[in-house]
Amino acid sequence: MALNHKRKVMAAAGIAALSLTTAACGSSSTNDPAAQASADTTDYSDWCSMKSELTGKTVSIYTSIVTPEDASHKASYKAFEDCTGVKINYEGDKDFEKNLPQRAQSGNLPDVAFIPQPGLLQTMVDTGKAIPASKTVGDEVDKYFGADWRKYGSVDGTLYAAPLGANVKSFVWYSPKTFKAKGYTVPTTWDELMSLTAKIAADDPGAKPWCAGFGSGVATGWVGTDWVEDVLLRTAGPEVYDQWVNHEIKFNDPKVADALAKVGAILKDPKYTNGGFGAPSTIATTTFQDGGQPILKNKCYMHRQASFYASNWPKGTKVAEDGDVWAFYLPSVDASSKPFLGGGEFVATFRDAPEVKAFAAFLASPDWANAKAKATTNGGWVSANKGLDVKNLVSPIDQKSAEILQDPKAVFRFDGSDMMPSAVGAGTFWSQMTNWVKGQDDKTTLDNIEQSWPAN
């Protein structure tokens, strides 16, 4: 509070430049005119005509996308490389999230980083090394992504990073064949989902309606956070969801408790989970990759997981509406609203040079999105870029995801744990959800997470 007051006094004194350095303290600060004014207004949209200026230059990229997914990324830059003569150096690292802040501190930053979490973007902006997006990138984001995505790529009102790839998390994987054979229909409301769950449990004693896996090494528990986010988005609505993510309501607010109870009614009921693995507590130790596999063995009927789960099905599995597996939209309370949870990466830049800015502009454009779609010959990639032609995506689930992402009526919310402070979003939220699924009660779980929220 003292800081806010100080800032107001300064603004009154008209020392606009100083506000840049004092903006420091708050993550809650409002638009910063000084920072916005510094955005580069050079036009980079026509990068192809910049060959004389750019040729021979190098741009380094650092990402969490590793083999084999990196191949299609590298291929998608070819048009840019051919056109400008810029060489792109790609570096993938599984420990990207941990190493990027360290690299900022040791002065070893890449030119471009694909950041999968708005929270990490905030951290990188806090280092003072991130460069605000150029006007060209801002225009592309406004035109092709919309206000929601712009907000997630911005810190304190300044756009730093344009969205790159995206994924849709509000999916329930199931087997259309089995559903058809048993006469089940895809539920369109939460009540229908629960009655279908009860019906399956009663019909088939040899299997269970749901299967899940929270295991993911250090990140164990993230699947549980997605469940809570997805359900809260439905039961309390997007506004409450935003308040919860920003800690404007407490983590253990009754509305959150209600959502967790709804999740628990599925995940912690031994009649309903964990199909193919045993008791509900096995969810904690089952890896998320294995989590949905029992669907293929008819040990489990439904598995809530993001669009990217498509790549986890074994070779030869037909992922289609009439195939072995397919996904339906996790229904909302009623059919009138269709909020969905998702995630994605953002292109942050750390070097103020024309070749870096031209490349960032290229990545924000539909040209890149379509090139990437064509380069991804096995599927498993989608973008929220509205200029992306859905026909260029090869897999049906990617097409379905792209349609949801581009639907102007769909209410999109970013994965909340990716936006919360790391102590919660990559700490207690994960670990407490793991404890919860192993038997810890709802209240202790939410109270523990609330208690761990950083004070400032």
Partner 1 sequence: MFATSVATITAAGTASKLGTMVLGLAVFAVVFVGILLFASLFKGRVGEKVQAVAFVGPTLLFISIALIYPAILTIRRAFYDGKFFDLNFGSLRSRGKFVGFENFQLLWTTPGLPEVFRNTVFWVVLVPFLATAFGLLYATLIDRARGEAAAKALIFLPMAISMVGATLIWKFVYFYNGDPGSNQTGLLNAIITKLGMDPVDFVGNAPGNTFALIAIMIWIQAGFAMTVLSAAIKAIPDEIIEAAKLDGVSGLKMFRFVTLPSIRSSVIVVLTTIAIATLKAFDIVQASSGGKLGDSVLANEFYNRSFVTQQPGLGAAIAIVIFLLVMPIIVFNVIQFRKDA
Per CB under 8 A, does 128 bind partner 1? yes
Q: For residue 229, give the nearest of 188, 252, 260 by alpha carbon.
A: 260
Q: Which one of 282, 332, 349, 417 is in contact with partner 1 (CB under 8 A)?
A: 282
Q: How far is the CB of 345 from partner 1 (least distance, A)?
A: 18
Q: For residue 75, give the nearest of 307, 368, 445, 295 by alpha carbon.
A: 368
Per CB under 8 A, does 98 bind partner 1? yes
Q: Which one of 129, 143, 255, 271 is in contact with partner 1 (CB under 8 A)?
A: 129
What is the four-CA torsion angle of 280, 283, 286, 287, rounded to 10 degrees? 160
Q: How far is the CB of 107 from partner 1 (least distance, A)?
A: 9
Per CB under 8 A, does 101 bind partner 1? yes
Question: How many Cβ atoms from other residues are within 10 Å of residue 158's Cβ?
Answer: 21
Alpha-carbon Rg for the chain, nearest whole angstrom, is: 23
Q: Which helix (H) or strand (E) holds 159?
A: strand 158-159
Q: Which one of 43, 95, 248, 321 is in contact with partner 1 (CB under 8 A)?
A: 95
Near partner 1 in 294-323, by CB under 8 A: 299
Q: Which is nearer to partner 1, 90 or 329 (CB)?
A: 90
Question: CA neighbours within 13 Å on the CB side: how many for 117?
Answer: 20
Site stretch for partner 1 (CB under 8 A), options 11-19, 50-58, 211-219, 312-320: 211-219
Q: Which is nearer to partner 1, 175 or 220 (CB)?
A: 220
Per CB under 8 A, does 23 bind partner 1? yes
For residue 438, give both structure tokens: 């192993």
Q: Which is nearer to partner 1, 129 or 182 (CB)?
A: 129
Per CB under 8 A, does 366 bind partner 1? no
Per CB under 8 A, does 36 bind partner 1? no
Site stretch for partner 1 (CB under 8 A), options 181-189, 244-252, 279-287, 399-407: 279-287
Per CB under 8 A, does 417 bind partner 1? no
Per CB under 8 A, does 422 bind partner 1? yes
Q: Which is nearer to partner 1, 183 or 205 (CB)?
A: 205
Task: Identify whether the C-beta of residue 140 lies closer than 8 Å to the C-beta of residue 310.
Answer: no
User: Which position has the token pair 């792209």?
Assistant: 402
Task: Identify whether the C-beta of residue 35 lies closer than 8 Å to the C-beta of residue 20.
Answer: yes
Q: Which is nearer to partner 1, 255 or 438 (CB)?
A: 438
Per CB under 8 A, does 432 bind partner 1? yes
Q: What are the angstrom distances between the C-alpha of 280 and each of 20, 31, 121?
A: 51, 46, 35
User: Which position has the token pair 């997007």?
Assistant: 238
Q: Which one of 10, 150, 431, 442 is in contact with partner 1 (CB under 8 A)?
A: 431
For residue 306, give both structure tokens: 């993001």
Q: How many residues contact partner 1, by CB under 8 A?
A: 58
- Longest Cα–Cα distance in the chain: 74
How many whole angstroms separate alpha carbon 251 and alpha carbon 233? 14
Binding mask 39-78 for partner 1 (x = CB under 8 A): ---------------------------x------------
Per CB under 8 A, does 91 bind partner 1? yes
For residue 65, give both structure tokens: 């996308």
Q: Which is nearer to partner 1, 183 or 314 (CB)?
A: 314
Which residue pairs from 273-276 have beta carbons closer than 8 angstroms and sit at least 24 positions apart in sequence?
A: 273/208, 273/209, 273/210, 273/211, 273/212, 274/208, 274/210, 274/211, 274/212, 274/300, 275/207, 275/208, 275/209, 275/210, 275/211, 275/299, 275/300, 275/301, 276/207, 276/208, 276/211, 276/300
Residues in Cβ contact with 116 at an 8 Å cutoff, skipping those fewer than 6 apart = 64, 97, 343, 344, 345, 346, 418
Instruction: Please give the single-letter amino acid code of residue 205.
Output: P
Q: Which one of 64, 117, 123, 417 is in contact with partner 1 (CB under 8 A)?
A: 123
For residue 151, give both structure tokens: 């907000």
Q: Which is nearer to partner 1, 41 or 106 (CB)?
A: 106
Q: Which one of 366, 438, 442, 453 is in contact with partner 1 (CB under 8 A)?
A: 438
Per CB under 8 A, does 419 bind partner 1? no
Query: Applying CB under 8 A, which residues contact partner 1?
Result: 23-25, 27, 66, 91-95, 97-99, 101-106, 123, 125-129, 215, 217-221, 274, 276-279, 281-282, 284-285, 299, 421-423, 426-428, 430-432, 434-435, 438, 448, 451-452, 454, 456
